[in-house]
Amino acid sequence: MSDFQQTKKQIVDRYNAKLAIFNAMVNGRRISLLNSQEFKVSQMHTTICYIRKDLEDKNLPWVMKDEWIATGPYGKRIKEYWFEKKEN
């Protein structure tokens, strides 16, 4: 596979992952770093930032909410994200 084809595939894969995460959140899911493998993303925070920007730039009817959650045996903190409908 050429470098161009690899880069093209990576772009498509990132887009598909972002869309899958967006759709999951529209359908009420809460998403965190713990979902990275499920959505096949290595940089979940970056993907969340792009989704947050899309919400604002496209004036979509949701706002992104977040909160810190504790995970694992040592209580490491990570952010969990979800959508709530915008109030009119």
Q: DSSP secondary-structure letter at 86?
A: P
What's the rounded Cα separation, in Å, for the pair 67 and 34?
Answer: 14
Instruction: Give me the domains of the chain, ranges plus CATH numbers.
Output: 3-85 (1.10.10)
Per-residue pLDDT, 20 = 98
41-62 burial, b if ≥16 CB within 10 A, otherwise e? beebeebbeebeeebeeeeeee
- The 10s digit of each residue's pLDDT in 65-81 is 999 999 999 999 999 99
What's the rounded Cα separation, in Å, for the pair 29 and 11?
Answer: 24
- The 10s digit of each residue's pLDDT in 24-79 is 999 999 999 999 999 999 999 999 999 999 999 999 999 999 999 999 999 999 99
pTM over 0.75: yes
Residue type, 33: L
